[in-house]
Amino acid sequence: MLGHLGKRAENIVCRVCGAVAEKPDSHHYVTGFGYVCRRCGLQPVVCDGCGAKVRRMTVTVLRGRTLCLNCYRVEREKGEKRIFKEHSANSVEEAFAAALENSPEGYVFVGIRLKPSSKQVWVAEYEREDIFLSRCS
């Protein structure tokens, strides 16, 4: 299934109720959340994207939001990996402060550089948070 892994691990504990797995296949892995037992996996939860009620075992937690598989697919396809924003500033300190202050939600500030053939326009680079964390962990 999209967004779900078939991981094998020992000492698996349900993230919701704390039940310990007796059999290796008795718990499901929910991406971004952790392992859940069958009972907790069948409980309905609300998708933060569309508001639909879905089972916990079929959701994915992305950037702290619980998403159904359709919303997760749309979110992954529409999200750009990197964003570049221009800031006017007289010094690198001012540009750095403006870049940190105006960073888009869900993105991590990666760096800043002077725009080619310019003395006052700086280009700030932001990377999507989940990609940054997977690349840097």
81-101 pLDDT, tens digit each: 888 999 999 999 999 999 999
Amino acid at the residue 129 = E
pLDDT of 31 strictly over 70: yes
95 and 67 inside one domain: no
Q: Which CATH number does the domain housing residue 52 bear?
A: 2.10.110
Q: Are 41 and 57 in contact (CB under 8 A)?
A: yes
8 and 33 inside one domain: yes
70 and 108 inside one domain: no
31 and 88 inside one domain: no
The model scores a pTM over 0.75: no
Q: What is the pLDDT of residues 106-131, one digit of tens each?
A: 889 999 999 998 999 999 999 888 88
Domain of residue 122 covers: 82-136
Number of domains in the chain: 2
Q: What is the CA radius of gyration of the chain?
A: 20
Q: What is the pLDDT of residues 41-77, one digit of tens each?
A: 899 999 998 999 999 888 888 878 889 988 888 777 6
